[in-house]
């Protein structure tokens, strides 16, 4: 509940045209990339760090929940305002403030779309590698808050590896500027890193200093078709133990291939059960071609049915378009999906995929598997129709079994999407009570009233694996809106 006096103060801070509370406006800010939905009481769109600081000081004084929101492409329910309150829409803070080749950094506001920074860096011969498949929608603030990754993580690392400094507004409105432009530092706790992956629960990121590296001049991409998932998985291990480090190794299973086959020029050989997309980069065209050719040879040794190398930019673009089309294309099979993001040690990929196939049969739901095979990060997507009675329970069963299998194989719950509200009840299965205690102690120190993104990250009842289902809003919608309209 946001009192009218607070609404008036919000209008005074950002201007009335940037405070929204009509039902249609609230619905537009009630969802993310998952199937969850809940309305906030009010949406506020600040333009500066000073405005964010004033909003948080006000919310803190009144104990009102605040949910920072980037582009809402998140896949963990991170921006769903479960407790109502203020959604802090950061889309207006969208300036690239500086690109400095001398210091090898970009300074950006959080609402800059990922692909926009990449294009601006590339125009200066520089490279910002993190490449979530959502890069044309996601914001850099959201990328920092979730520690977003993507195919190029294998060689270049995730968002965390590019964050040098941040401006963060804390829950009570204080402004912190951890890190900076320097290449290295060993000056106390690495506070900037603490906020990476914190999913809006510790502070609001309002400015980001990101590392840029030289842009590799040459790239080559290969498409490898296999008669079995095991042969594809064996290729991954063989390539990575042969002294090669491709930029990306992406895996598509049979169900996923069927969804995007239309994007693949020339179709696929009969009997293709798995596909790898492998990219190599560097500055020497001959060396890059030789590396991708060697990957092809190794793949053939593991039983590949076909090796196709794309060297021209349009050929390469077509392959990556097929990869990026996967997530949206899943909607063709069922209207709803729960996209998981488990990570297992690379050597366990075949065992994990076999387990997911068995789980799919056990619960009677399709679960296509794709993902970043090079770093063991798989995206089993549980497809369902939440209008069908009992289907959500089967989804929950499948998710529980997938998490249990990943943990049993030495893996973890999320590699890049974060925990949000969807995975919070499983945290106790992955983290020790000491780890959870340490995380909660940090949360309490920085946000003692718990106003920042409540209901995210931490289990509501530690050890209770069914809480997330109970926490989902009902099918027909959205909780009653307490906002005056």
Structural tokens at position 261? 């086959």
3-state helix, strand and coil shares in percent for the chain, rounded to the nearest 5: 40, 20, 40
CB neighbour burial string for 444-480, b if at least 16 within 10 angstroms, e if fewer = eebbebbbbbbbbbbbeeeeebebbeebbbeeeeeee
**Minimum CB distance to ligand FAD smaller for 36 or for 143:** 143
Bridge partners, 208 (sequence order): 108, 166
Contact 346, 236 (CB under 8 A): yes
Q: How far is the CB of 195 from ligand FAD (least distance, A)?
A: 7
Q: How far is the CB of 34 from ligand FAD (least distance, A)?
A: 9
Rounded Cα gap, residues 261 and 257, in angstroms: 6
**Minimum CB distance to ligand FAD smaller for 158 or for 288:** 158
**Minimum CB distance to ligand FAD smaller for 29 or for 296:** 29
Intra-chain end-to-end CA distance of the chain, in Å: 13
Binding site for ligand FAD (CB under 6 A): 32-33, 67-75, 78-79, 90, 110, 132-134, 138-139, 141-143, 145-146, 148-150, 199-200, 204-205, 327-328, 416-417, 420, 453
Q: How far is the CB of 466 from ligand FAD (least distance, A)?
A: 22
Closest residue to bound ligand FAD by CB: 142
**Minimum CB distance to ligand FAD smaller for 320 or for 403:** 320
Rounded Cα gap, residues 26 and 483, in angstroms: 9
Q: How far is the CB of 9 from ligand FAD (least distance, A)?
A: 22
Rounded Cα gap, residues 208 and 194, in angstroms: 14
Q: How far is the CB of 217 from ligand FAD (least distance, A)?
A: 25
Q: How far is the CB of 371 from ligand FAD (least distance, A)?
A: 9
**Minimum CB distance to ligand FAD smaller for 231 or for 320:** 320
Structural tokens at position 388? 């069908």
Rounded Cα gap, residues 235 and 189, in angstroms: 40
Q: How far is the CB of 203 from ligand FAD (least distance, A)?
A: 7
**Minimum CB distance to ligand FAD smaller for 72 or for 251:** 72
**Minimum CB distance to ligand FAD smaller for 299 or for 417:** 417
């Amino acid at each position: 509940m946001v009192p009218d006096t607070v609404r008036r103060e919000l209008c005074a801070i950002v201007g009335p045209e940037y405070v929204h509370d009509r039902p249609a406006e609230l619905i537009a800010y009630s969802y993310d990339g998952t199937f969850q939905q809940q309305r906030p009481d009010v949406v506020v769109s600040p333009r500066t760090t000073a405005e964010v600081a004033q909003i948080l000081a006000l919310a803190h004084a009144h104990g009102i929940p605040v949910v920072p929101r980037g582009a809402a492409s998140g896949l963990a329910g991170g921006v769903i305002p479960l407790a109502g309150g203020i959604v802090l829409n950061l889309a207006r803070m969208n300036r690239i403030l500086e690109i400095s080749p001398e210091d090898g950094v970009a300074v950006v506001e959080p609402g800059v779309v990922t692909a926009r920074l990449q294009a601006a860096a590339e125009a200066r011969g520089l490279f910002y590698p993190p490449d979530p498949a959502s890069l044309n929608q996601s914001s850099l603030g959201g990328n920092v808050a979730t520690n977003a990754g993507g195919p190029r993580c294998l060689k270049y690392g995730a968002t965390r590896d590019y964050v040098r400094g941040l401006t963060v507004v804390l829950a009570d409105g204080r402004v912190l500027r951890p890190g900076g432009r320097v290449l290295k530092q060993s000056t106390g706790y690495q506070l900037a890193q603490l906020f990476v992956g914190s999913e809006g629960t510790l502070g609001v990121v309002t400015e980001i200093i990101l590392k840029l590296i030289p842009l590799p001049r040459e790239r080559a991409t290969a498409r490898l078709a296999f008669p079995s998932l095991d042969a594809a998985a064996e290729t991954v291990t063989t390539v990575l133990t042969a002294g090669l480090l491709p930029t990306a190794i992406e895996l598509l299973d049979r169900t996923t291939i069927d969804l995007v086959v239309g994007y693949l020029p020339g179709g696929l050989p009969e009997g293709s059960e798995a596909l790898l997309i492998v990219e190599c980069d560097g500055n020497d065209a001959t060396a890059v071609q030789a590396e991708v050719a060697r990957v092809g040879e190794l793949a053939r040794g593991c039983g590949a049915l076909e090796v196709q190398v794309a060297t021209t930019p349009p050929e390469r673009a077509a392959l990556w378009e097929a990869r990026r089309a996967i997530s949206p294309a899943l909607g063709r099979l069922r209207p709803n999906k729960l996209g998981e993001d488990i990570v297992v040690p690379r050597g366990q990929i075949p065992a994990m995929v076999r387990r997911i196939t068995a789980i799919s049969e056990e619960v009677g739901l399709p679960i296509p598997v794709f993902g970043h095979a090079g770093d063991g990060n798989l995206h089993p997507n549980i497809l369902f129709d939440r209008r069908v009675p009992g289907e959500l329970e089967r989804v929950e069963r499948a998710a529980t079994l997938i998490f249990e299998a990943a943990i049993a194989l030495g893996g973890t719950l999320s590699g890049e999407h974060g925990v949000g509200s969807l995975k919070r009840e499983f945290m106790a299965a992955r983290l020790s009570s000491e780890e959870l205690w340490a995380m909660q102690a940090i949360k309490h120190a920085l946000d003692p009233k718990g106003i920042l993104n409540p209901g995210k990250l931490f289990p509501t009842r530690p050890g209770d694996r069914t809480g997330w289902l109970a926490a989902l809003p009902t099918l027909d919608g959205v909780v009653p809106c307490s906002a005056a309209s």
